[in-house]
Amino acid sequence: MSRVRVNSFAISLDGFSAGPNQSLENPLGVRGPEIFESFLQTRVWRSMHELEGGGTGVDNDMAERSFAGVGAYILGRNMFGPVRGPWPDESWRGWWGEDPPYHVPTFVLTHHARKPLEMEGGTTFYFVTDGIEAAMNAAKKAAGEKDVRIGGGVSTVQQYLRAQLIDEMHLALAPVLLGEGENLWRGLDLHALGYKVDEHVQGERALHLFVRRR
């Protein structure tokens, strides 16, 4: 059965999943990379960047699981790039070069229309201007029997949690105090929304928490 899930979503001990002041130079925000160490040190991440080495323990296993069985992605506008407002042109093609890591249809939430962007490796970005439910319907249709993965960022995950459209959320809790940035829990009451912590697994650099709908 197809599910809607969040995977390998890094979060600091004080609840931040991105640092402040995201920019071309700091795509994860200032100090943002500190909370992603559990993923950045894995063999999965290094092989994606054609690098050797990397950890092969629990954190790597969780990273591998995050890509398995995904038939479509949904991303917020900030996850696609730092461009704000109307697209000045179509020169920005994402953070990842010509072969993004998705390899399936990927739906980007935006208020500004743009034609689909076909990339190498099977990724096509579709820009959805009519809301989270329209993006979800399109993603589910594209995914078929596979899962839809919400890739982030924080605002996008919050919107889908409030709408109770996420079935499972895997958080990688990093032993870091970020202090400022984008706080995942701001304005949310997950218990009232019907979620509970269903599983936790200690990794090398993060505690992996699985939050599921009751």
Give the pLDDT score at 49. 84
Q: Which amino acid is at 207?
A: L
φ, ψ at 43 (rounded to 5°): -65, -35
Establish if 191 belongs to a structural domain: yes
Bridging pattern class, strands 182-183 and 168-174: unpaired
Establish if 87 belongs to a structural domain: no
Establish if 138 belongs to a structural domain: yes
Residue written as token pair 């069985």 = 69
Q: How far is CA 126 from CA 60, 103, 173, in A?
A: 29, 13, 31
Domain of 33, CATH number, reads 3.40.430.10
- State the alpha helices, DSSP H only, in 152-204: 154-162
Give the pLDDT score at 5. 98
Q: Record the tokens describing residue 131, joined without a space.
A: 């809301």
Q: Record the tokens describing residue 123, joined without a space.
A: 């990724």
- Domain housing 55: 4-17+29-82+99-213
Query: From first to last of its 214 residues, what are the pLDDT tens digits of the chain?
Result: 799 999 999 999 999 999 999 888 999 999 999 999 999 999 999 998 888 999 999 999 999 999 999 999 999 999 999 998 999 999 999 999 999 999 999 999 999 999 999 999 999 999 999 999 999 999 999 999 999 999 999 999 999 999 999 999 999 999 999 999 999 999 999 999 999 999 999 999 999 999 999 9
Q: How many CB atoms lie within 10 A of CB 137?
A: 13
Please say whether the beta carbons of 211 and 172 come within 8 A.
no
Give the pLDDT score at 48. 87
* Overall domain count for the chain: 1
Please say whether the beta carbons of 125 and 80 come within 8 A.
yes
CA 98 – CA 102 distance, rounded (Å): 11
CA 82 – CA 95 distance, rounded (Å): 9
Q: Record the tokens describing residue 193, joined without a space.
A: 């929304």
Establish if 45 belongs to a structural domain: yes
Establish if 23 belongs to a structural domain: no
φ, ψ at 84 (rounded to 5°): -115, 155
CA 125 – CA 141 distance, rounded (Å): 15
- pLDDT 10s digits, 98-115: 999 999 999 999 999 999
Establish if 192 belongs to a structural domain: yes
Give the global pTM: 0.95
Establish if 88 belongs to a structural domain: no
* Cis peptide upstream of residue 71 (ω within 30 degrees of 0): no
Give the pLDDT score at 156. 98
187: DSSP letter:
T
> Nearest to residue 30, comparing CAs of 16, 40, 41, 13?
16
CA 153 – CA 182 distance, rounded (Å): 9
Give the pLDDT score at 168. 98
Please say whether the beta carbons of 208 and 39 come within 8 A.
no
Give the pLDDT score at 203. 98
Establish if 194 belongs to a structural domain: yes
